[in-house]
Structure 1
Amino acid sequence: MTVADLMKHLSMADPSARVRLGINPFVPMAHKMGTVTGDTDQDGRPIVYLAEDAEAVQYGYLPRPVAEALSWMPPVEPPARGGRLRAVADGDTS
């Protein structure tokens, strides 16, 4: 992803929305966004780093729809709709 790609994604969001980082696909958690800084990689190409808040503020689990959208969790199938099962008493074969 490039800065232009990120800007395109962010331009579609509500400008007053808070930013959170999704961390750890095996236990998806939401973290507060911290510093944004830049440098270059080993080949001299510019890189922008998005960092977690310095206090490592964690806001609990990532909402399931977000984890699903990131493919960190499989989608949950809604339960099949059907009639309620009735208990069958001993000897009742109707």
Structure 2
Amino acid sequence: MDPHSPEMTVGDILDLLSACDRDTPVRLAINPFFPMAHRLGGVEKAVDEHGRPMVYIAESPEAEQFGPLPPAVAVALTWQDPVEAPPRRRRGATGPDAGQ
């Protein structure tokens, strides 16, 4: 991937996907502020308003959403900071015999 270009290319995607098992399902991560996982529906070639070739990766026609993105994926995408559970503190005893 060219660090000087904001655009990811087909070659970049192919390079990244070549390290993955071909039978692994692919999901689309959408919306860094409310990360959700969606099913892919297709790939479409087009030309932009400047005559440059473009490729669009589309969500499925059913707009199937699988729910929240796993936290580890959101962290890996730098969409969220790692979060640790707050430390638990010992609770006091309750009930009729509490404190005796």
**TM-score, normalised by the number of residues in structure 2:** 0.75
Partners of 2:33 and 2:86 lie apart in 1 by 24
Unaligned runs of 5+ in 1: 88-94
Name stretches of at least 5 consecutive residues in structure 2 with no aligned partner.
1-7, 93-100
CA distance 1:37–1:86, shift in 2 (3 Å): closer
2:14 corresponds in structure 1 to 7
Q: 1:57 is matched with which residue? A: 64
Q: 1:30 aligns with which of 28, 37, 42?
A: 37
Cross-structure match for 2:52: 45
Letter in 2 for 1:69: A
Any runs of at least 4 consecutive aligned residues in structure 1 with deviations exceeding 3 A, and if so which?
A: 77-80, 84-87
Compute the TM-score of the two structures, normalised by the length of structure 1: 0.80
State how many pairs are aligned. Answer: 84
Shift of 1:68: 0.6
Distance 2:30 2:78 in 1: 13
Gap change, CA 1:86 and 1:42, over 3 Å in 2:
closer
